[in-house]
Amino acid sequence: MRTTEQVLLGDSGTVEEEELEIDEPVDEPPKRRVIQLSSTILSKNNCQRRADGTAILKFSDSSERLVILGSYGVKVKSGEASIYGASLHPSETIHWVHAPHCHALPVLRCSEKSVLELHPHPAAADLRNLEKLSPLFGGLWHEPVSSGGQRNQTWQVLSTSADGPKKAMIQDLKSPPEWNRKIAELVKPTRETAPVFMVCGPKSSGKSTFSRMLTNRLVTHRGGTKERVWPGVAVLDIDPGQPEFSAPGAISLVRLDEPNLSPPFCHPLLKPDSTVRSHAIASVTPASNIEHYKACVFDLFSHYRSTCPGYPLIINTLGWIQGSGLILLQDLLAEIRPTEVVYMSQDGPEDTVEGLRSAGTRSPLTTLPSQSSEYTSRTALHLRHMQAMSYFHISAEVGAGAAGGTHWDAQPLTSAPPLLVSYTAAGEDSGLLGIACYGYQPQPELLAEAIDGTILAIIEVEDETKAFGIPPSPPAPDGPGVVQRTAAEAQLPYIRANATPLDPRYARCHGLALVRGVDTARGLLALSTPLSPDLLSGRTIVLVSGKFDSPTWAYTEDHYSRASGKGAVGAEVEAGSTGIPWAEVLRGNQKRAAGSKVWRVRRDLGRNSGGGGGGGGI
């Protein structure tokens, strides 16, 4: 049986090697301790099961808590329940949850004399089937039930951590008392206008967890009249490296009217009416173009003020808090002027905290303890790959608004016909205005090779003149206009407007596309995207290349799909049988030649050399 690290991926190194060469290495798993998770054991006295897999739970104690692994829906029949900060009240609504053990498992708490229904998740099988395409999705759920058990049961109550999958480090979601008190203070309906809360702090300090809990509490909070205090909650999701509601490389403004009870890779694409506006940074960090990033954030905030009246706003920022990152946060604070700033660390750095206080003199700043550092089975890069893969495998037939939320198609992308976009037709016959590159600008004759097999952002240009800053001229082979045809055989419409990104006030991102090929003979781009062609019809579209993560997961989907059909993920594939571009198979103990991995720029050389000198190197 072969392992993940035996699959070689062109310029990006092996799957395993690339994923481990990051700033956040995988933690060494601690020795497994058995800890108590749930306070009650389900029995015939408190649990009745229906033939369809639904379980009816009856609780008599207000201290009952359940930790559940898997995918399920919660419906409150009487009493009250809480999960991930959300307060659930009796209604016909089913709140859907995905709880894999690569994240801390949310705790379902019940009030006295509560009756709940736990429903099997209709999208559970789709999500689990992604394991056939990538081992990153493997081993995240409860063990398969025996043939005599409930076949449609998609969840498992864990009494202790020993009840989970073998070798899995199970953790329940814990929030410090300071978090709970602060959330209770922030949701008090004593404000005349909808508040704006900005959450910032170091990496891995719990910003996303706290933001999700605060969002869930606000969207489900009820006042003295038992009615919801707010019509919904707006979220300004501005961390392109770990976005909550989009694929990596984009930031967005979304509007929620129900709690968010699943990790980001389970909802990378929302219903069209939930996403107010989105912009492509085309990178997992704004460091390469901070001014463009700020312009995108300010445009999203402007749309919040004009389109979301009466909605509280949660701003979840990125973990870049020193140097240029601190200056960036200060600029955001000065422009947005939030109602309150929550800083997710009580250990500084002191200059960062003081810098934020000085920038937001009208915005009180509260420091909270960071989330306790726990072992995780997936790194930040793993989770980005999972989120991107989840995005591209969203079922176009079912859609993001179906019962149970997002559904997936677990067939390799190569098994589905691509979306063919003509780039040679002129005017309204082609919706593609051109291809732009943020950052590095390849030579025109290399553009086809540069974008083939990569991820591009799909940008709608709302005003061509203002989006480019100068009036675009008709395509010409060597003309001086914004859009030019490459001189090579491909004749791609190349936008080289001095490498300036599109003005976010006059352009918006609809999603991402994976380039499966450039057909120069017919003048077609073959794209994979979960977006409907109808959504893009009649719009002026620019495809943007940048520094998105290489979609290495896509290059090996066919390999893992065939291997799973043989009964083992990672099984041996005969030499020459793959025919997959950018991928080859290493045999036995064969390794890559020295110097064949991706070279990475080092900018920290000389920082600790005691003063002076020290330039960057490779």
Quick: pLDDT tens for 114-130. Answer: 999 999 999 999 999 99
Report d(CA 17, CA 5) in Å as an integer: 7
Class of CATH domain 47-163? mainly beta
Give 10-residue mean pLDDT values along the chain (618 residues): 38 38 48 81 88 89 87 94 94 95 93 90 93 93 55 84 84 92 88 90 92 96 77 95 95 96 94 93 94 97 95 95 94 95 91 89 91 79 96 78 78 93 68 89 90 96 86 48 64 80 96 94 92 86 95 93 68 48 64 64 55 42
Tell which phi-psi region holds residue 32, choosing left (phi > 0), alpha (psi between -120 and 50) or beta.
beta
Q: What is the tens place of the pLDDT at every residue in 474-510? A: 544 444 456 777 655 668 899 876 668 999 999 999 9
Q: Which SS3 state, helix, strand or coil, does residue 616 take?
A: coil
- Classified as helix, coil or strand, 83 is strand
Cβ contacts of 221 within 8 Å, gap of 6 or more: 87, 187, 189, 228, 229, 230
* Parts of the chain belonging to CATH 2.60.120.1030: 47-163
Query: Pairing mode, if any, of strands 107-110 and 81-83?
Result: antiparallel
Q: What is the rounded distance in angstroms from the CA atom of residue 252 to the CA atom of residue 280? A: 9
The pLDDT score that the predictor gives to residue 440 is: 87
B/e letters for 78-93, b = 16+ CB within 10 Å, e = fewer, are ebbbbbbbbbbeeeee
- Could you give the CA distance from residue 296 to residue 281 in angstroms, rounded to a whole number? 8
**Structure tokens belonging to residue 8:** 């070689």
CA 263 → CA 23, 103, 386, distances in Å?
A: 22, 8, 11
Paired tokens of 77: 């029949």
Residues of the chain with CATH 3.40.50.300: 177-367
The count of residues in the chain is: 618
Ramachandran category for residue 113: left, alpha or beta (phi over 0 → left; psi -120 to 50 → alpha): left
Helix, strand, or coil here: 324?
helix
Between 3.40.1190.20, 3.30.9.10, 3.40.50.720, 3.40.50.300, what CATH number should domain 177-367 receive?
Answer: 3.40.50.300
Look at residue 590 in the predicted model and tell me its pLDDT: 65
